[in-house]
Structure 1
Amino acid sequence: MSEHRSTARHRRSRKLLAVGLPLTLATASLAVYGAGPGAITPQLASAASDVTSAAAPAWATATADGFASVNALGQNGTYGGRDGQTVTVRTQADLEKYATAAEPYVIVVAGTITMNPVGKEIKVASDKTIVGSGTSGHLVGGGFFLGQGVHNVIIRNLTIRDAYQGIWNDKDHDFDAVQMDGAHHVWIDHNDLRNMADGLIDVRKDSTYVTVSWNELSQNNKTFGIGWTENVTTDITIHHNWFRETEQRNPSTDNAAHAHLYNNYLEDVAGTSINSSYGNYSRGGTRMVLENSYFQGMKNPVIKDATATIVQRGNIFSGTSGRNESGGTAFDPKAYYSYTLDSAANVPSLLKSGTGPRPTIGTTASAAADVAPKAAAATTLTVAKDGTGQYRTVQAAVNAVPANNASRVVISIKPGTYRETVKVPSTKPHVTFQGTGASRKDTVIVFNNAAGTPKPDGSGNHGTSGSATVAVEADDFQARNLTISNDFDERANQSLSGHQAVALRTAADRVFLDGVIVEGDQDTLLLDTAAKDRLGRVYVTNSYVVGNVDFIFGRATAVIDRSVITLKKRWDGTSAGYVTAPSTAANRKGILIANSAVNGDVSDRTFYLGRPWHAGGDASLDPQTTVRNTTLGAAIRTTPWTDMGGFSWKDDRFAEYRNTGPGSGSASGDRPHLTDSQAASQEVADWLAGWTPTAS
């Protein structure tokens, strides 16, 4: 894509659009609900049970680790509702109906449920798994309550948010995401919990045998409290959780018999409105073991009462201040259960990409009309550069996929560097590129074409879109655990006209990139559609995108979620660039960056978050980029949006919401922020519009 655009076409300003979410249900959901969105049809529930029990997905039968896995109090570990039917709900009434039932259930929450009244906490009964469908399961304005004696409950893969009533130290609204009073054997895993009026998690009144793992807890005051009892009873494991922009109770642990905290990441970003008062707190008679966690910028990162104990091992403290305490003897967690520690140095990157809802939990490969039919069985083709596979090049394997294939073909690519260009044509849907190395860096597809590079047949230059190392034109494409790169050398090709050099171009719908690296300089990742009037959705997660000028661009409806966007200097060592350049059609969603980090080894205040690309001078376009709940490095300019090709960014759709970090800033005319009501319609699920990305 050129840095020089067409002449200006001036248009009237638009307000941010709020697009509704058409929900898609999994096959089991269709069997339970029938054709309409109303009440459950009882006679169909048993049929749904038969379908799901025949081949229950792993997430429906998952069991807890840590203290929740310990056999005690008549309960053998924590497995939730795996022995019951799987039902899909999308209303508060149906969620409450199944959560409070006496029978075991696996309850899949598909879509956003807004609680009425605000602060409503559904009383969950024993033997339940409540799981969000991919990233689409949201509870807004309320949560769950587990009362005395409730046991064997799993709460996974949900976003529970926004019961906050505007009073920071709120004494009147005890609105929690998850509260338990006297419950046991509870597993809270892979949730996004934020912005509640009181606690995100409260483990109270002798609740015990609890594991809290792989959650993101953010934007809250009293975050995670444990105790409210004189009895030294609670056994709790807290591991691989990301505490981000939370003031206190991170957690506060009162009178816990055994509190095992490991591989957690506590982050207080400088320059934001929420400042930590303390991190991990051991109170009363608590015995705490604290291992291989990472504390960044926290005030009073570890504190204890005179009567409590803390044993610290292998923790990292970066930019912390105030109290950091340990003392006394505690216990050996391995006497109760086995576990493996990750390196503390790896915790920030591991948790930024791995916490919160996963697209592969709570979903099935079969789904409603918006999702392609599930293949009876995937075919695997093996690529190995050394000749040990069926093919030596990736393109040769793509060529072997039959035209208009109805079932998925996995192209398994062994470690190595594959210097080639690859095209997946529109006639070959349901293709997966799967790197088989231990790291996404082990399998690399790379080439060095640029827009100005002459074509081998002498018919002109490649152009921007033609420069792509990998071009995907087929729907339902997936890529995992590999690197796609364009290593065009700008310094050595200064005489060449057109330095745009695309690593990956997508021009298809339902493209799922999970655990990949896409790297280049200018125009790294082109997210396009098959035609201007065609929808093209792309979901990128747990990934890295690297570049400098307009390096995430195009007209697709695209989400960069829980990923790292790495800024790099220009070929001549200068720092200047633009992260996004959307060319969105009117009434469509553009580029959404959510729950991610934007950083790099570049100079402060030198990069814009985006600018509007009116491709070909098309004034009918309405470019959109939203950046929300993301950590912005100091490289981001204080006025993060700019004009392009004579078109003003203020006439298009550019906004932020609740970003943090030194590159974030308060709302102004030059830095628009979404309101809470606008943000409610700009979640990841709204962008995906009924599609739930599922690994296959």
Structure 2
Amino acid sequence: MAVVHILLALVLLSTTYVCSSLAVPSSDAVLIVVDQSGKGDYRTIQGAINAVASNNSELVYISIKPGIYREKIVVPADKPFITLSGTAGTNTTITWNDGGDIFDCPTVSVMASDFVAKYLTIQNEFGTRGKGIALRVSADRAAFYGCRILSYQDTLLDDFGRHYYYNCYIEGATDFICGNAASLFESCQLNSLAKNLGTITAQHRNSPSENTGFVFLGCRITGLAGGTVLGRPWGSFSRVIYANTYMSNAISPYGWHDWDDPSKERTVYYGEYRCYGPGANRSKRVRWSRELSRDESAPFLNKTIIGGRSWLRPTPTHFKTHVK
């Protein structure tokens, strides 16, 4: 029955947003260059985003030259099909310093569908004082490649929609990947800064009818020894799966936390499949987490869980100049 339940949920998940899908533009893209030195089209990233027409129907590729961009960025909901691309995650940084309300403080807020980010560091320098979101993703069909997402608490607000993270580095201490999206994290590094009582995920699924959850496939977990759990339930039906993932001794032996609400132990879905490393030993795991079988894990081991074949797209191969 567990396998049937999972398969049914994932079939529904892959079709959740079909009615809102937009026609994918051609592979040609409008090129906009951001360069702080003044040699591009705009000096600021937000300036380049503002230049995109509302209800845009073309691919827009915003190429960001290396530098530290001290900006608070919003990609509005009426500007789909935008790509923000640096040249390397270590030399192109968007940073801000704000905390408090999780919807107001993010350094970068993605509100538009069909968004892509590549080779960027997205950082909130608020530190250990409280919630300081680096990246908020509140839109369907968003993908992130080779990005570094850095803060301390609630680093990534993976709010809603279908999302894909590939080869990203995500760092924090408390609930540093949180929200209620349906997301696949593939080949990512999750680094915990916590000295004790750290939490990687706080997934917010509130009912079994919500086709959401976080899947970590082939990832790597690092950090200080013994102080971090894999997740705790923000929502009563929180769903998180780790598969083929290396877990260092940063992960505590009991693995998961119920957020001091034992009633959620009956409704969460926390699974592990073929994970390895000193933190993957399940001999002392909480009994309400699951060691998945091959059949139970199968639906989570590819991009089908986010319907990726219908919306993940290659980098544009032909560009045309942006006309101001």
Indicate the residue corresponding to 1:445 in structure 2: 94
Indicate the residue corresponding to 2:121 in structure 1: 483
2:138 to 492, 507, 524: 507
Cα 1:381/1:502, change in 2 over 3 Å? same
Indicate the residue corresponding to 2:234 in structure 1: 613
Indicate the residue corresponding to 2:322 in structure 1: none
Does residue 547 in structure 1 map to residue 185 in structure 2?
Answer: no
Cα 1:16/1:597, change in 2 over 3 Å? farther
TM-score, normalisation: structure 1:
0.41
What's the offset of the Cα at 1:16? 6.3
Does residue 661 in structure 1 map to residue 277 in structure 2?
Answer: yes
Cα 1:489/1:688, change in 2 over 3 Å? closer
| In 1: Cα distance, 2:13 partner to 2:145 partner | 22
Q: Say which structure, 1 or 2, has more relative contact order (CA 8 Å, 6+ apart).
A: 2
Indicate the residue corresponding to 1:526 in structure 2: 157
| In 1: Cα distance, 2:152 partner to 2:30 partner | 35
What's the offset of the Cα at 1:625? 0.5
Indicate the residue corresponding to 2:58 in structure 1: 407
2:42 to 381, 387, 391: 391
Amino acid at match of 2:140: D
Amino acid at match of 2:270: F
What's the offset of the Cα at 1:683? 2.0
Please list the CA deviations of residues 269-289 of structure 1 after superposition, one character each: whole Å capped at 9, or x if unmatched: xxxxxxxxxxxxxxxxxxxxx
1:433 to 66, 79, 84: 84
Kindly report which structure 2 residues correspond to 1:333-348, keeping only aligned pairs within 5 A, or say none.
none
| In 2: Cα distance, 1:561 partner to 1:372 partner | 26
| In 1: Cα distance, 2:33 partner to 2:243 partner | 39
Q: Is the 8 A contact 1:449 1:486 kept in 2?
A: yes
Cα 1:22/1:414, change in 2 over 3 Å? same
Does residue 648 in structure 1 map to residue 264 in structure 2?
Answer: yes
SS of aligned partner of 2:49: helix
1:474 to 109, 112, 116: 112
Cα 1:560/1:442, change in 2 over 3 Å? same
Indicate the residue corresponding to 1:190 in structure 2: none
Q: Is the 8 A contact 2:269 2:289 kept in 1?
A: no
SS of aligned partner of 1:396: helix
Indicate the residue corresponding to 2:214 in structure 1: 591
What's the offset of the Cα at 1:465? 1.8
Kindly report which structure 2 residues correspond to 1:199-238, keeping only aligned pairs within 5 A, or say none.
none
What's the offset of the Cα at 1:693? 1.9
Q: What is the number of equivalent residue pairs in this alignment?
A: 301
SS of aligned partner of 1:659: coil
> Structure 1 residues 387-396 or 466-475, which shifts more?
387-396
SS of aligned partner of 1:464: coil
Does residue 563 in structure 1 map to residue 181 in structure 2?
Answer: no
What's the offset of the Cα at 1:630? 0.2
Amino acid at match of 2:253: T
What's the offset of the Cα at 1:644? 2.0
| In 2: Cα distance, 1:419 partner to 1:467 partner | 14
Cα 1:518/1:16, change in 2 over 3 Å? farther
Cα 1:629/1:694, change in 2 over 3 Å? same
Q: Is the 8 A contact 1:580 1:611 kept in 2?
A: yes
What's the offset of the Cα at 1:370? 5.5
What's the offset of the Cα at 1:645? 6.0
What's the offset of the Cα at 1:632? 0.3
TM-score, normalisation: structure 2:
0.87
Indicate the residue corresponding to 1:677 in structure 2: 295
Indicate the residue corresponding to 2:148 in structure 1: 517
What's the offset of the Cα at 1:691? 3.4
| In 2: Cα distance, 1:553 partner to 1:391 partner | 33
| In 2: Cα distance, 1:563 partner to 1:434 partner | 18
Kindly report which structure 2 residues correspond to 1:185-196, keeping only aligned pairs within 5 A, or say none.
none
Q: Is the 8 A contact 1:371 1:691 kept in 2?
A: no
Indicate the residue corresponding to 1:695 in structure 2: 314
Cα 1:387/1:526, change in 2 over 3 Å? same
What's the offset of the Cα at 1:377? 2.1
Cα 1:628/1:376, change in 2 over 3 Å? closer
| In 2: Cα distance, 1:607 partner to 1:16 partner | 30
Q: Is the 8 A contact 1:642 1:648 kept in 2?
A: no
Amino acid at match of 1:503: A
| In 1: Cα distance, 2:27 partner to 2:291 partner | 46
Is there any run of 5+ residues in structure 1 with no aligned partner, and where? 1-14, 25-368, 452-462, 530-535, 615-620
Please list the CA deviations of residues 377-427 of structure 1 after superposition, one character each: whole Å capped at 9, or x if unmatched: 210111111221111111111100000000111111000000110000100
Q: Is the 8 A contact 1:526 1:553 kept in 2?
A: yes
What's the offset of the Cα at 1:376? 5.6
Q: Is the 8 A contact 1:641 1:649 kept in 2?
A: no
What's the offset of the Cα at 1:20? 4.5
Cα 1:684/1:553, change in 2 over 3 Å? farther
Amino acid at match of 1:591: F
Amino acid at match of 1:428: K
What's the offset of the Cα at 1:539? 0.2
SS of aligned partner of 2:147: strand
Please list the CA deviations of residues 280-315 of structure 1 after superposition, one character each: whole Å capped at 9, or x if unmatched: xxxxxxxxxxxxxxxxxxxxxxxxxxxxxxxxxxxx
Q: Is the 8 A contact 1:613 1:645 kept in 2?
A: no
| In 2: Cα distance, 1:662 partner to 1:628 partner | 15
| In 2: Cα distance, 1:420 partner to 1:404 partner | 24
SS of aligned partner of 2:56: coil
SS of aligned partner of 2:310: coil
Please list the CA deviations of residues 218-251 of structure 1 after superposition, one character each: whole Å capped at 9, or x if unmatched: xxxxxxxxxxxxxxxxxxxxxxxxxxxxxxxxxx
Cα 1:469/1:523, change in 2 over 3 Å? same
Please list the CA deviations of residues 517-555 of structure 1 after superposition, one character each: whole Å capped at 9, or x if unmatched: 0011000001112xxxxxx10100011011110000100
Q: Is the 8 A contact 2:215 2:241 kept in 1?
A: yes
SS of aligned partner of 2:28: coil
Amino acid at match of 1:17: I
Does residue 17 in structure 1 map to residue 6 in structure 2?
Answer: yes
Indicate the residue corresponding to 1:332 in structure 2: none
Q: Is the 8 A contact 2:13 2:306 kept in 1?
A: no
| In 2: Cα distance, 1:508 partner to 1:420 partner | 21
Runs of 4+ with deviation above 6 angstroms = none
| In 1: Cα distance, 2:166 partner to 2:140 partner | 16
| In 2: Cα distance, 1:479 partner to 1:516 partner | 7
SS of aligned partner of 1:475: coil
What's the offset of the Cα at 1:372? 3.9
| In 1: Cα distance, 2:27 partner to 2:231 partner | 43
| In 2: Cα distance, 1:550 partner to 1:23 partner | 24
Please list the CA deviations of residues 594-617 of structure 1 after superposition, one character each: whole Å capped at 9, or x if unmatched: 1010012x1x22100000003xxx
| In 1: Cα distance, 2:23 partner to 2:169 partner | 27
Q: Is the 8 A contact 1:510 1:691 kept in 2?
A: no
| In 2: Cα distance, 1:471 partner to 1:424 partner | 6
Q: Is the 8 A contact 1:611 1:649 kept in 2?
A: no
Amino acid at match of 1:486: N
Does residue 373 in structure 1 map to residue 18 in structure 2?
Answer: no
Cα 1:547/1:20, change in 2 over 3 Å? closer
Indicate the residue corresponding to 2:321 in structure 1: none
